[in-house]
Structure 1
Amino acid sequence: MTTQKPYDYIIIGAGPTGSVLANRLSANSDINVLVLEAGGSDYDPKIKEKVLYIGGFLELWGSEVDWNYASIEQAGLMDRKIVINQGKVVGGSGTINDMMHVRGNPLNYDHWNALGNDGWSYQEVLPYFKKLEDWKGTPSEYRGTGGPLIVRDCPDLAARSPEFQAAAIELGFDGPDWDYNGPRQEGGVGHLQFNITEGKNERQSAADAYLDHILDRP
């Protein structure tokens, strides 16, 4: 690519961080932003569509959209090397992962705040979690709607899921509408939440949510 256009910011990598950063910076029409990505496009049926069967995303690991990193030999693991899957594609690792949407544990945020990191309590970071999502489940003060990233319960539950959930509730776990992205992540049983679109049931990466619709910005 050859260009004489000046840029105010050059972002290396169109993964989750790069996509969000490009969106936020380019919201100012006076700023020119260039995003560089080593991988190719994420417009591929095997990326977007093969999301509703167990292990579908595993077909992407070790493929041309994976950097195929590996650790050095680990003495504590009988000298094995550990595979580290990282997305080499628009959307980065959010394009090859299993799409589960899981916030950090509220207890961790409160612990960081207690250590002196002001502003990092769960209640203080909660508005940002809510801002980014468009939650399709039961309304809650802990969930956001209208954000760029779709979050919904798994649309294709395992046949034994109701029995498992009923057994857990009988043993004292909270349910059936328990939300692990709510006030706490322990003591309940519910469904996994995913970044999957409604209707077509396609993967939604950070690039889908933050980057694709702003490509005509400077």
Structure 2
Amino acid sequence: MDHFDYVIVGGGSAGSVLAARLSEDPDTTVCLLEAGGDCNSILVRAPAGLAVMAPSKPFRINNWAFMTEPQPGLGNRRGYQPRGKGLGGSSSINAMLYIRGHPSDYDTWASGGCEGWSFADVLPYFKVSEGNQRGGDALHSAEGPLQVCEQASPRPVTQAFIEAGRQCQIPYNDDFNGPMQEGVGYYQVTQFGDGDRKGERCSAANAYLDPALTRSNLEVRTKSIATEIVIEDGRATGVRYRRRGKEAQIRADREVILCSGAFQSPQLLMLSGIGPAEELKRHGIKLRHDLPGVGQNLQDHINFPMISRSASTDMFGYSLAGAIKLVSEAMKWRKTGTGMITSPLAEGGAFLKTDPGLDRPDVQLHFVIGIVDWHARKFHTGHGYSCDVCVLRPKSRGTVTLRDRDPYSAPRIDPRFLSDDADMETLVAGARKAIAICEAPALAPFRKSDLYPFSDLSDDVLRESIRLHADTIYHPVGTCRMGTDDTAVVDPRLKVHGVGNLRVVDASVMPTIIGGNTNAPTIMIAEKAAAMITSGQ
């Protein structure tokens, strides 16, 4: 049997960071198991490739492409949940937006019993990961492995969106991770800003794993699906997995670390007999440790897209002129690392308060330079743009449970979107602000017609439209919640309660969802976890 000090399950954003950081010590051996491939294709390297990978239609590429249970809050529709499959995980198929959330999000974690996770505590780990093109200051660093840069070639329609926001009295913000989150502006992206890879995506695997692959103490095994955590005498001692159709087992002499994300980390815990006793009994799984919180507390940002058609072809879309332009832009990208292919699609955005009395923004806008209907899974000819509004701190809570005991089956995902009425009211209020921006003079030259009406709707009709069109903005968290109470899954050192030598390190440990995109916070969590592990915590 193979022996390593650490066995990491999942080579996504967190797993890539941990594998690289733990293997910096040449006397420490690390094995990383990843169910997908290496994610080195042109679709991953080209930022705009997410338009092909994220929808998973007509082909599923680097994407688990999960579906939810029918959602009563969304008219009993099944939601779509893309998740990255391959090294880099979702950082290999996402929009690359570098957002940390609001500082108070982390202070809330700390005040809720997660000692060591206040913003002052986590800021050093954001900074140690960040290689920002702008340079370093009190809130940023230019020295980290994760490349963060300005967008190379944002489209004029995005500038118009930003100007439209300013026409609505929203202040311009050139740094959503700076002293103030509120405002409208461009997103910074996790992309190479110079050098041979200028204009390419910088996934967590690119940033952390690629430079570490030559280390003799690090082994990366792709196409390896973990099926069970081996538990002996109350502690994790290894992992069973399948690779190329063969069963195998690997031993962890120090720790097993799950980095499989908000859906698959709780799934693997339950398949291994760690979780709610009744859920495991229902599937005939031997109970190793009754941990009621596993798979509970699922939180996600519910998102409502408002889509407009445009006569301009200077956006992504389906037309002869657009196809000719895209070929030209692809050649430009290969030569110069600039142009439309560098676009994250969601080029501009805003953080807004639906009530001026709030102490922090409660909705976020993503301005997308394409017609994104049903996650771009519904085809439309022509060109256009989408202004998406999401609720930053939803009150609705869902679950992740098992469909059956087959590790190849997708987990049963039930976000229970809009099950708390407060989320709908926040979304309606946020949509009203977004509609005002869409109707501002600056966007008028680009706006031809609306794909689905969103102007001049009563609140009741707007709510019905939300139920017909809203879904995730791809930020599931919370299903292996960190805390010290009876329903927490991991403690503030991310160790699983009641099971030795086992940690969970990914977005599933977030007690509450942060107010923004979740990739940078997930990388921060892994940086902090690596520091705790190497220091013996």
Fold shared by both chains (TM-score > 0.5): yes
Q: In 2 relative to 1, CA 13–120 (structure 1 residues): closer, same or farther, beyond 3 Å?
A: closer
Q: Which residue of 2 aligns with 1:196?
A: 191
Deviation of 1:124 (Å): 2.6
* Partner deviation per Cα, 1:77-119 (whole Å, 9 max, x = no partner): 1211111111111111111111111102112123333445443
* Partner deviation per Cα, 1:175-194 (whole Å, 9 max, x = no partner): 46x311112211x3321110
Q: Which residue of 2 aligns with 1:152?
A: 149
Q: Which residue of 2 aligns with 1:28?
A: 25
Name the aligned partner's letter for residue 58 of structure 1: A
Q: In 2 relative to 1, CA 12–96 (structure 1 residues): closer, same or farther, beyond 3 Å?
A: same
Task: Note the 1:96-175 alignment, pairs <5 A.
Answer: 96-137=93-134, 139-166=136-163, 168-169=165-166, 173-175=170-172
* Partner deviation per Cα, 1:55-94 (whole Å, 9 max, x = no partner): x412102123111211111122121111111111111111
**Structure with the higher strand share, 1 or 2:** 2
What is the DSSP-based 3-state SS (H/G/I as helix, E as strand, rest coil) of the residue aligned with 2:153? coil
Q: Which residue of 2 aligns with 1:213?
A: 211
Aligned length: 209
TM-score, normalised on structure 1? 0.86
Unmatched segments (≥5 aa) in structure 1: none
Distance 2:193 2:53 in 1: 22
Q: Answer with 1 or 2: which has the greater Rg.
A: 2
Name the aligned partner's letter for residue 57 of structure 1: L
The correspondence for 1:86, drawn from 83, 87, 91, is 83
2:66 paired with 1:69? yes
* Partner deviation per Cα, 1:128-168 (whole Å, 9 max, x = no partner): 11111011126532111110001112111121444554564
Check conservation: 2:150, 2:193, Cα contact below 8 A: no
The correspondence for 2:176, drawn from 175, 180, 183, is 180
What is the DSSP-based 3-state SS (H/G/I as helix, E as strand, rest coil) of the residue aligned with 1:126? helix
CA RMSD of superposed structures (Å): 2.1
Q: In 2 relative to 1, CA 68–169 (structure 1 residues): closer, same or farther, beyond 3 Å?
A: closer
Check conservation: 1:106, 1:183, Cα contact below 8 A: no
Distance 2:168 2:18 in 1: 45
Q: In 2 relative to 1, CA 121–79 (structure 1 residues): closer, same or farther, beyond 3 Å?
A: same
Distance 2:3 2:113 in 1: 41
* Partner deviation per Cα, 1:34-65 (whole Å, 9 max, x = no partner): 1111111211001102x2x5xx4121021231
Seq. identity, %: 38
Q: In 2 relative to 1, CA 67–164 (structure 1 residues): closer, same or farther, beyond 3 Å?
A: closer
Q: In 2 relative to 1, CA 173–147 (structure 1 residues): closer, same or farther, beyond 3 Å?
A: same
Name the aligned partner's letter for residue 180 of structure 1: F
2:53 paired with 1:57? no
